[in-house]
Amino acid sequence: METPQSKISQKKTNWLQRLKDESWEAELLVSVASIFAIFKGFQLLDWAVDYFIDVLVPEQYFYGYMICFLGYIAFGILGSFFAIHFGLRAYWIGLVGLNSVFPDYSIEDSAYSKIYTEKMSEKLPRLPTTITSLDEICSVIFSAAFTLLLIYLYGGIISSVYLILFNLFKDQVPTILLLTPAILFGIIYLVVTLFSIIANLKKFKKNPKIQTWYFNIMIWGSKVFYGPLYRYSLQTTMIFGSNFKKKKALVKSVLLMLIFGLMLGTYQIFQSNVIYLLTSNAKPDTSRLYGSYYSENTEEEDFLLAPVIPAEIISKKVFQLFIPILEHETSIMGKDCELSKIEVDRTSDKSKQKRWTANLACYASNIIVSLNDEIIEVDFLKTDHSQTNQFGIAGFINLESVPTGIHKLKITKTASSNIEKEWHIPFYYAPN
């Protein structure tokens, strides 16, 4: 006879089983939404890369690079996880439907010979076995993907906020104090890593003192690395780790998907400007023609990293040169020119115009333009680029006295003694 408690337990079991049986519908919907959101997320990362290039001083580019690099890899892994999950779950649905019609291989009704059918059915996996395996893999992928998402979101948000705050207060607070949180984080990470290696050595696995210390260090370390949701991240990773020996095939499948994710993330990296954060100080090849120097080749670009002229072949006697000036460069130039000392009466148009003119003079004074290695005078105007909406200065190059043939513009932009950029832009002048 069933007791009230057993009935309650049975109801809970039935409810959980029903939820498990029907969860694939929600999984498919979430996978599709996640795939769409993640590929949109790559666009957000592209914007973040351009923002870091614009705002950060070159000395901090490496930190911006690491944040964005890890973002592309994380989004690549998540994208591959959800895409593979969607494909496998769709295949699983097909197998479930097939199983409802044909439970398994049939020897008697086979269109092939009995011997061939028997040998092939022994070689191939059973339909119920494949259905169960696919269901397990899909469930594991889903949980692993969301765990990675939680970890990355927390790490990416905290790192970005810290970098922004560092730049906001670097002129008011001593650098060592601003670096203290990063130093503490590095020390905690080092301690957790070293203790994890030591505690998992065979001779220490049965040592109560070492294992208790390991437990406490991991709990506190997880609070730092995973944030307020550390329990849920630890829950998933612990379930993976504690069942590793029992479900090695599932863990290996996840590792294989990580490889696909790394490939996708790497591909997206090379579609963005993130490499510039590492190579911003690299000197360009002066004998090479770079497509990014010409407006006709940058119509799809959202952010310009170099000055641009209209085209490789110039037929007009006068053409426009646009030189982008990054936000951190305007700040440095403004300090060197002491623009803040110019008093501005916001009620007076004349006063505002005086400041605007001083801004232009300051930026222009840090730009040197040469044509065929001879410095030329260029009258600049401030402007926002019509395509990318970037701030910069535009000038007009007069070619009336220049003969037909190949010529080279040299632009040098000096924001400070440590921040100097130089570009060599070749073009062929063929007047109409």
278-317 pLDDT tens trace: 888 888 888 888 999 999 898 888 899 999 999 999 999 9
Average pLDDT over residues 410-423: 90
pLDDT over threshold 60, residue 15: no
Integer Cα distance of 371 and 411 in angstroms: 9
Integer Cα distance of 175 and 71 in angstroms: 27
Q: Tell me whether strands 420-429 and 405-414 are parallel, antiparallel or unpaired.
A: antiparallel
Residues 330 and 267 in one domain: no
Question: Residue type at 369?
Answer: V
Integer Cα distance of 157 and 74 in angstroms: 13
Residues 260 and 296 in one domain: no
Question: Phi-psi bin for 384: left (phi > 0), alpha (psi -120 to 50), beta?
Answer: beta
Q: Taking a C-beta distance cutoff of 8 angstroms, is the pair 365, 414 a contact? A: no
Out of 277, 304, 338, a domain closes at 277
At how many degrees (to 10) do helices 208-226 and 175-199 cross?
Answer: 140
Integer Cα distance of 319 and 323 in angstroms: 13
Residue 14 pLDDT grade (very low, low, confident, very high; cuts 50, 70, 90): low
Residues 271 and 299 in one domain: no
Residues 380 and 297 in one domain: yes
Integer Cα distance of 424 and 409 in angstroms: 6
Residues 126 and 249 in one domain: yes
pLDDT over threshold 80, residue 6: no
Out of 250, 277, 304, a domain closes at 277
pLDDT over threshold 50, residue 16: no
Residues 401 and 252 in one domain: no
Out of 277, 307, 342, a domain closes at 277
In percent, the amount of the chain with pLDDT more than 90 equals 23
Q: What is the pLDDT of residues 61-77, one digit of tens each?
A: 988 888 888 888 888 88
Number of folded domains that form the chain:
2
Residue 414: which CATH number?
2.60.40.10
Residues 78 and 106 in one domain: yes
pLDDT reported for residue 23: 62
Residues 115 and 188 in one domain: yes
Q: What is the pLDDT of residues 138-195, one digit of tens each?
A: 777 777 777 777 777 787 788 878 877 887 787 787 878 878 888 888 888 888 888 8
Residues 401 and 418 in one domain: yes
Strand partners, 381: 394
Residues 291 and 253 in one domain: no
Residues 202 and 341 in one domain: no
The pTM score is 0.75
Residue 264 pLDDT grade (very low, low, confident, very high; cuts 50, 70, 90): confident
Q: How many CA atoms lie within 13 A of 64 on its CB side?
A: 28
Integer Cα distance of 117 and 105 in angstroms: 8
Nearest CA to 267 out of 84, 85, 80, 72 is that of 72
**What backbone torsions phi and psi does residue 414 show, to the nearest 5 degrees?**
-115, 105
Q: Which domain holds residue 269?
A: 4-277
Residue 385 pLDDT grade (very low, low, confident, very high; cuts 50, 70, 90): very high
Average pLDDT over residues 8-14: 49
Q: What is the pLDDT of residues 322-373, one digit of tens each?
A: 999 999 999 899 888 888 887 777 778 888 888 888 999 999 999 999 999 8
Residues 237 and 363 in one domain: no
Higher-pLDDT residue of 346, 318: 318
